[in-house]
């Protein structure tokens, strides 16, 4: 039997890149920081911290999210903190351990879960055991913690690498997880932070640790402390191997991202997706999109599907709005689908106010707290409305999902749970569309039933239609160009 944490299907995640989200006056900052509103660079720091996040929880709660995924927070010399120095210490630039615990407590008091990033495939060069080898060479007791091919280590000189590193990057020496001491260390790290109160782990490049037994033991250790802890892996492709119930609860659903880009962001910026881990992206019509989504749902147990982390973009991709060539309608349609689809939606910080960004590091801009006049208020209102809709109807979080229409550039699907019945209709085309939806008995929508328009991607109800009625076994829905709407059975 496959078990996932019950709370995940009800979760709406917000992904935060800590250096770029918010700063607090309570955290001492060094002087050599980039200006907050300047263009992000590969190596520069802007000084965001965890107390800054804690002080913005009102904003996040008003947005409607109830879970946060943080990219790494442990001590590291990189602004993204994937070069871990100390797995047991929160980075001092983020406010240290005290700031993390204050944030964790404040989030939990508001019913907001906190998932953090675990980088267990590789470390930074400043990681103690690697530094020990740098200093002592073959005499170090820790030589079996890494894959060493010669001495002294060529960690800084620009000479050919003589140790294994992730993607051949000298700053990221690869851990030897076949060494019992390394396994014990990483499992202890996983247990430690679960005991400290985090609600789960997002696992960085877990496929690089090509060892089912490692991840099976990782799961046993984590779940023994907190059975409700969420374990989600960064796997960009189909992930059946890891989603059988004995390793991860879910993956970052980049195959969902791929389908949404191919259908809603048309035409999309091919240069911005060319190097993405989910590339190549096919151009999809409605039948192609429905097929892609149905295929994705067929890959995993329905319980797993309800735990998938569904995202439109992240710190590792260009922002969806930029991929869509600044087409706000594309972002609205994709977000409406994301918020009415199976699994846990994840919003990348700032998407809700229209932040744009190309490839890394441009996708990691600072949140413009000091210039609210630059926020896209209409988009922010739309995000809040979509989130509120998802939270209001259990059918959108836990109900059955079935496409009921896929013609041209328009799709519709039903979500049903108990007595709740909702039809979501989306027109990704540039011309109005009339959707004649054949209503089958198992939809639970009898002849004559009226469905009210709950929301639309436009300010008004769908083209002025406040409701639609099943008549002659059909539900006719009219949508304007690039418009979506949600209808609820009365």
Q: Please confirm, yes or no, whether 234 is among the known catalytic residues.
A: yes
Which helix (H) or strand (E) segment is 473 a member of? none
Distance CA 180, CA 448 (A): 67
Closest CA to 322 of 245, 261, 393: 261
Q: Tokens for 352?
A: 């809700």
Residue 336 in contact with residue 486, Cβ under 8 Å?
yes
Q: Tokens for 399?
A: 């109900």
Closest CA to 369 of 385, 386, 345, 349: 349
Cα distances (angstroms) measured from residue 314 to each of 83, 232, 325, 349? 19, 15, 17, 9
Q: Please confirm, yes or no, whether 208 is among the known catalytic residues.
A: no
Omega of the bond leading into 209 within 30 degrees of 0 (cis): no
Strand partners, 232: 202, 250
Place of tokens 């089958």: 440
Q: Which of 204, 313, 327, 351 is catalytic?
A: 204
Q: What is the DSSP string of 293-341?
A: HHHHHHTS-HHHHTT-EEES--TTS--HHHHTTT-HHHHHHHHHHHHHS
Q: Which of 55, 91, 117, 234 is catalytic?
A: 234
- Burial (CB < 10 A; 0-12, 13-18, 19+), residue 56, is middle
CA 195, 198, 199 angle in degrees (round to 5)? 115
Residues annotated as catalytic (active site), given as ranges: 204, 234
């Amino acid at each position: 039997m496959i078990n996932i944490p019950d709370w995940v299907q009800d979760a709406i995640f917000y992904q935060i890149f800590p250096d770029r989200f918010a700063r607090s006056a309570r955290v001492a900052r060094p002087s050599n920081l980039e200006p907050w509103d300047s263009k992000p660079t590969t190596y520069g720091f802007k000084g965001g911290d965890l107390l800054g996040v804690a002080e913005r929880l009102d904003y996040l709660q008003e947005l409607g999210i109830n879970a946060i995924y943080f990219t790494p927070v442990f001590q590291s010399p990189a602004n993204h903190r994937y070069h871990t120095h100390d797995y047991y210490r929160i980075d001092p630039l983020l406010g240290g351990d005290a700031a993390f615990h204050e944030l964790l407590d404040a989030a939990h008091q508001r019913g907001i879960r906190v998932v953090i990033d675990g980088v267990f495939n590789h470390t930074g060069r400043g990681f103690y055991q690697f530094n020990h080898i740098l200093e002592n060479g073959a005499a170090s007791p820790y030589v079996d913690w890494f894959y060493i091919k010669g001495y002294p280590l060529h960690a800084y000189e620009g000479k050919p690498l003589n140790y294994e590193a992730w993607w051949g990057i000298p700053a990221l020496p690869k851990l030897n997880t076949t060494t019992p001491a390394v396994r014990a260390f990483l499992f202890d790290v996983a247990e430690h932070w679960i005991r400290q109160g985090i609600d789960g782990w997002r696992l960085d490049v877990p496929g690089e640790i090509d060892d089912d037994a490692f991840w099976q033991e990782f799961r046993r250790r984590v779940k023994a402390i907190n059975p409700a802890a969420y374990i989600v892996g960064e796997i960009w492709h189909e992930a059946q191997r890891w989603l059988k119930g004995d390793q991860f609860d879910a993956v970052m659903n980049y195959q969902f991202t791929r389908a949404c880009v191919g259908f809603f962001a048309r035409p999309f910026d091919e240069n911005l997706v060319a190097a993405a881990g989910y590339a190549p992206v096919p151009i999809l019509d409605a039948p192609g999109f429905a097929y892609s989504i149905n295929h994705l749902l067929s890959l995993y147990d329905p319980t797993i599907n309800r735990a998938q982390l569904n995202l439109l973009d992240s710190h590792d991709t260009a922002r969806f709005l930029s991929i869509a060539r600044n087409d706000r309608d594309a972002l609205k349609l994709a977000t409406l689908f994301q918020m009415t689809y199976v699994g846990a939606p994840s919003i990348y910080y700032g998407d809700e106010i229209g932040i744009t960004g190309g490839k890394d590091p441009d996708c990691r801009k600072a949140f413009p707290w000091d210039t609210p006049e630059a926020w896209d208020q209409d988009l922010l209102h739309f995000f809040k409305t979509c989130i509120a809709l998802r939270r209001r109807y259990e059918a959108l979080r836990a109900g059955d999902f079935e496409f009921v229409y896929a013609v041209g550039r328009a799709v519709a699907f039903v979500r049903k749970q108990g007595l709740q019945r909702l039809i979501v209709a989306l027109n990704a085309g540039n011309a109005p569309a009339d959707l004649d939806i054949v209503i089958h008995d198992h939809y639970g929508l009898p002849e004559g039933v009226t469905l009210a328009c709950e929301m639309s991607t436009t300010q008004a109800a769908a083209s002025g239609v406040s409701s639609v009625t099943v008549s002659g076994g059909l539900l006719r829905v009219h949508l304007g160009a690039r418009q979506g709407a949600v209808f609820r059975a009365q």
